Amino acid sequence: MMQRTAVYPGSFDPVTRGHLDIIQRASRLFDRVIVAAAENPAKQFTFSVSERLRMLEQSVRGLPGVEVDAMGGLIVDYLKAKNAYILIRGLRAVSDLDYEFQMASINRRLYPKVETVFLMPDERYTYLSSSIVKTVARFGAQVDELVPPPACRALARRFRGGRAENSRARRKR
Ligand code: PNS
C-alpha cells in the first residue's frame, strides 16, 4: 500500500498553536507527517535545535502519523532523502504569499516532483508568529494561549527576568 508522506519544514523557534493547527490538519490528510526543524548555521535561533525538537515532540505526542526531525541544508534534499515529494506550508494571510510563492517556485525548479501544499490555519492564528510570541514573552506577558505548554515553559525559562540578555548571560554561567 502506498503511504503518503508529507514534510512540514520550519524554524519552530518556538512551535506555536498556529503550527500545531497546521500539523493537525496535515495529519488528517497524510499517512505520515514529518515535522522538520531547520538547522541553519547562518541563522540565529532563540532555541537550539535540540530544544526546538523537544518542544515539538512534547507538543505532537498522540497525533497519528506525526514525527519530528531535524533538517539541515535544502528542503528538497531532505524530501528526496525521505522519499517524499509533498511539502506542507501554512498560509496565514496574503502577506505570507510573496515569500511562500518564491520558495515554492525555487523548490519546484530544484525538484520538479515537489508539490507544495498550503494549509490555512484557524483564523484565531492569523496574526500569530514565533517572533510575536517571543516579543510578548520577553516583556513578561502571558503566552499560554499562543503556544503549547512545552513552549510556554521554555519561553518562561529563557526570558525569566524579562530581559533576553539576562537569560543569555545566565545560560553561559
Ligand atoms: O516557517 P519558517 O520559519 O519561515 O521556515 C523557514 C525554512 C525552514 C522553511 C527556511 O529556513 C528554509 O527553507 N530552510 C532550508 C533551505 C531551503 O531549502 N530553502 C528554500 C530553497 S532556497
Model confidence over 81-127: pLDDT tens digits? 999 999 999 999 988 999 999 999 999 999 999 999 999 999 999 99
Residue 114: CB atoms within 10 A of its CB come to: 19
Percentage with pLDDT > 70 across the chain: 92
Rg (the chain; Cα; Å): 16
Which of 19, 32, 52, 134 is catalytic? The answer is: 19
Q: Per-residue pLDDT averaged across 165-171, rounded?
A: 48
Q: How far apart are CA 16 and CA 82, in angstroms?
A: 25
Which single residue is written with the C-alpha cell 500569530?
128
pLDDT, averaged across the chain: 92
- Name the band, by pLDDT with cuts 50, 70 and 90, for residue 16: very high
Q: Nearest Cα to 31, choosing from 68, 58, 70, 64?
A: 64
Q: How far apart are CA 151 and CA 145, in angstroms?
A: 11
- Name the band, by pLDDT with cuts 50, 70 and 90, for residue 2: confident
Residue bearing the CA closest to ligand 1, atom 16: 74
Residue of higher predicted confidence among 9 and 167: 9
Task: Report all structural domains of the chain as residue ranges with CATH numbers, in order of start.
Answer: 5-125 (3.40.50.620)
Percentage with pLDDT > 90 across the chain: 86
Residues 6+ apart with CB under 8 A from 145: 17
User: Measuring from each residue's beta carbon to the nearest atom of ligand 1, which residues come in under 6 Å?
Assistant: 9-11, 38, 40, 74-75, 103, 106-107
